A and B are shown apart, each in its own frame.
Chain A
């Protein structure tokens, strides 16, 4: 009887349908509140929400799609729509939309719905919208004679110049700025490009250049700081150091919370403009994944979220702007005059190009922009490179389809292997008394795994490096096209790759000798006969070696903290000014090298110690009798005797340092200005962030080749000696 009840209960639990929802950042936390209301309305549905941090969201979604662990329903930024649609991962919602009594197309802002439309299909439903407006300090603008926000570019320049002049009067160093703009943010530069009337995919146009020049001029005239001024936005806004900035709707609420003192002294306005006062329309859409098993429930949730009252409810929880235009007409917005400005701005808002390549182009745009603003490149050069990159990106769309070449290469490899291994004819006589298959059985698990997970992949990835395999042809193997050496050629022209190569060489070239010298030095000291507690010292020095690299990187990021880190404090004892270790392009790589030496020297030290102990003592005694100094003994006895050990240590260290990845991945993400990007990190980014598999394999093979050549050279040097 009890079992029957239990069975029924469990059956009932199973009968409850579940809906998994992924949402990012703040929305990810707050969606729980809406999910609870939804669950009350639909008691047969259980909603499971997961919050995903924005920084990792793109990678996370890509891998989820590739790995088939997608949620039913997901929040997707408008700019990511194209990419995920092209991957074929999104469900076409047209038929759902036609049959819905809740959702109609004309409920949404046109620009916002545009981000969901591809061909005839609609692949998402706007959840909330987002646009950018100007935040300004009314009182400060009034002090320089403006009793309203600037409406044109000229006015913007005029008012900011006046502020900078007026407020920095008598100050030794500039403290006050006109407006804060990011050096590296595509959304920010796009505003200005749209305002000048430019097409974002045509960097050769006059309007494009005008937009860039205006943006750059704000930095050049010191209206906008080029570097981090070491103050957070709210304090800056409060103190008038940053009297203006461009931001989104969330900021209205945060300013009220963070700096309530200036309430009434600040306002928001539609952005100033040139041809038009354009802004960005973004926000997020709901998407249902094709692999979802609960599409109808997911659609139900979308309908729930789109309803006018829930749009307002969501607005009240998060201050996210409603995508449903009817919601905007609600009287509640009379209470939010600042938010109403956003409603007005949305009329003139534009969305970025709806193409899968946009994310990549935007990254390039950001990089070029940073270089132009920091003066690394001039504007003409930067725009030309941008144009080239954009053209290249579009060219990649066209594909050739011929797998025959791949087969040819494959057979080539097979024949090569066969020839190499058929030369030797030394058959081993098996032991007669045991079945012939026994040894094969014994090596099978290990060698079989190596065959599957090492040999096959090596051959396979080599073949793939001649194709255009990427995430769009992921599941459709026969769409892969043979492109010959294109990946390699592209790689050799790829400036970031060369930067990564250079960094890796510096890292190895400086790191290896440094590690070896420190290790040898410590080993020689420890080898002195009189040392007490030798094994204590040895064990201690070895601890960093066994420590998880990730933890080491996290700890060192803290040690390198410019304000509160131990290292700057220590330097401060010697009156050395604090350094921005990880955000200064000149210091970031040395900082990583220092950390690696710290982590690795103990390992080499132990090997050297073993080597030192193997040197016969009578050599030193003979030298002492001959009157050799300690230094002479070191140079003429220790070093030559250690040569085999040295070779081993150097080769192994080189191989290790060439593969450096976790340090920059955790501490700098390859920045600032790609100054710490390594070859493996670059491969990881290409392979597992952008899913350009073919390109990434070619990076791996070039690295392999470099390591191979290096090892051969070092072995050869040894042999000649």
Chain B
């Protein structure tokens, strides 16, 4: 029995070793990023690597906000991500509600067409949408990032599935009480959708915050760059100033990580059940 126990303990020990190795491999780059961001330009190039920056400096962050205007990029990202999230939750849940609870000619056909379109990768539409935005005068503007990215087949689908499970009785009794159709959606359906809206909202925010290719194409004026584009640009211009680059990375990464840590239960549950991805 002791032999069995010893074997079991060594097995557990081994598993913990694996898990901790994984943990170090996953977190070390972040720690390294954070540490480098507080180093002076000279201290970056020391070997063996310093984990605790000596001397400790905030110079890189100051430079980001004074010379490179990261505050503006931060605000750009925030404006875009928040607008996309709110707008997207609204229009997609509205459509999801209509698809779930109304019967109307063409409903299933339109829905099938939408599902078919999921197969098409974004790259195919990129060029025409770029040209269209130019014609609409939306290049180089927030609208150019918000409008085309808000409607999502996946979000409609998810909302429809969720709203489908809400009993019809609730809607019908509201209708009898004289509630308008929009009122039903606004006052009855939306409050019931809170969990799915939360998950979807967090994901929409994250994917909008992290998006790179589309803002890179739409935003032409440097002032309008979102954080990821500004960081990529910084990477091109200050390729060897690693301390500065790492400080920029911290600013890009930190908000999403914070949002994630706050909402991680929702997110992990959402992924485990639906497989949705930012």
Contacts and interface: CB of A to CB of B under 8 A. Distances in A.
Nearest to B256: A546
Given A438-B181, A449-B150, A67 B140 contact: yes
B273 interface: yes
A603 interface: yes
Interface in A651-695: 652, 655-656, 658-659, 661-662, 665-666, 680, 683-684, 687-688, 693
A530 B273 CA distance: 24
Contact of A457 (B48, B125, B273): B125
B200 interface: no
A443 B110 contact: yes
A339 B261 CA distance: 61
B210 A549 contact: yes
Contacts of B259: 546
A542 B237 contact: no
B71 interface: no
Nearest to A648: B275
Contact of A424 (B44, B109, B235, B246): B109
Nearest to A651: B275
B65 interface: no
Contacts, number: 303
Contacts of A544: 26
Given A439-B98, A530-B12, A464 B127 contact: yes
Interface string B127-167: 11111101000011000000110110100100000000000
B235 A610 contact: no
Contacts of A661: 213
A711 B119 contact: yes
A656 B49 CA distance: 34
Contacts of A433: 175
Contacts of B124: 457-458, 461-462, 697, 700-701, 704
Nearest to A568: B47
A700 B106 CA distance: 31
A64 B219 CA distance: 10
A540 B21 CA distance: 12
B67 to A, nearest CB: 12
Size category of the binding interface on chain B: 35 or more
Contacts of B25: 598
A455 to B, nearest CB: 7
A427 interface: yes
A546 B259 CA distance: 10
A559 B49 CA distance: 11
Interface in B23-56: 23, 25-30, 32-33, 36, 44-49
Interface string B99-123: 1001111111110011001011111
A258 B114 CA distance: 62
A426 B111 CA distance: 14
B272 A430 contact: no
Interface of A: 50, 53, 55-56, 60, 63-64, 66-69, 421, 424, 426-431, 433-434, 436, 438-440, 442-443, 445-450, 452-458, 460-462, 464, 521-522, 525-526, 528, 530-531, 537-551, 553-559, 561, 563-564, 566, 569, 598, 602-603, 606-607, 609-610, 648, 652, 655-656, 658-659, 661-662, 665-666, 680, 683-684, 687-688, 693, 696-697, 700-701, 703-704, 707-708, 711
22 contacts: A60-B220, A67-B140, A427-B105, A431-B103, A438-B181, A440-B104, A445-B151, A446-B91, A454-B117, A454-B125, A525-B18, A539-B264, A548-B209, A548-B212, A548-B227, A548-B256, A551-B231, A609-B272, A693-B127, A697-B127, A700-B124, A704-B123
Interface of B: 12, 15, 18-19, 22-23, 25-30, 32-33, 36, 44-49, 90-92, 94-95, 97-99, 102-110, 113-114, 117, 119-132, 134, 139-140, 147-148, 150-151, 153, 156, 175, 181, 185, 206, 209-210, 212-213, 217, 220-222, 227-229, 231-233, 235-237, 242, 245-246, 248-249, 252-253, 256-257, 259-261, 264, 267-268, 271-273, 275, 277-278
